[in-house]
Amino acid sequence: MSDYVTTRTLQIDLTSDAAYDTHWPNIDIVINSKIVYSGVVNEKLLFESEFDTYQNNLISIVFKNKRFGPDTWDTIVDSNGNIVKDQHILVKSIRIDECNLNFLISKTALKLEDGSLVKTNGYISFNGIYNIEFKEPYYDWVHTTRISAIKFNKTIDSSLPFITSYVYDHNNEIVAELLNKMQETVNAAKNFNYNNSLS
Question: Which 3-state string (H, E, C) describes the chain?
Answer: CCCCCEEEEEEEEEEEECCCCCCCCEEEEEECCEEEEEEECCCEEEEEEEEEECCEEEEEEEECCCCECCCCECEEECCCCCEEEECEEEEEEEEECCEECHHHHHHCEEEECCCCEEECCCEECCCEEEEEEEECCHHHHHHHHHHHHHHCCCCCCCCCCCHHHHCCCCCHHHHHHHHHHHHHHHHHHHHCCHHHHHC
Q: Which residues span the domain enclosing 66?
A: 6-136
At 25 the pLDDT is 97
146 belongs to a structural domain: no
142 belongs to a structural domain: no
167 belongs to a structural domain: no
Domain count, the chain: 1
194 belongs to a structural domain: no
pLDDT, tens digit, 9 for 90 and up, residues 138-158: 999 998 887 776 655 444 444
At 184 the pLDDT is 76
29 belongs to a structural domain: yes
Assign residue 73 the CATH number of its domain: 2.60.60.40
- Residue 76 clears pLDDT 90, i.e. is over it: yes
Over residues 68-84, the mean pLDDT reads 93
178 belongs to a structural domain: no
156 belongs to a structural domain: no
Quote the pTM value.
0.76
- Residue 175 clears pLDDT 70, i.e. is over it: no
52 belongs to a structural domain: yes
Over residues 43-69, the mean pLDDT reads 97
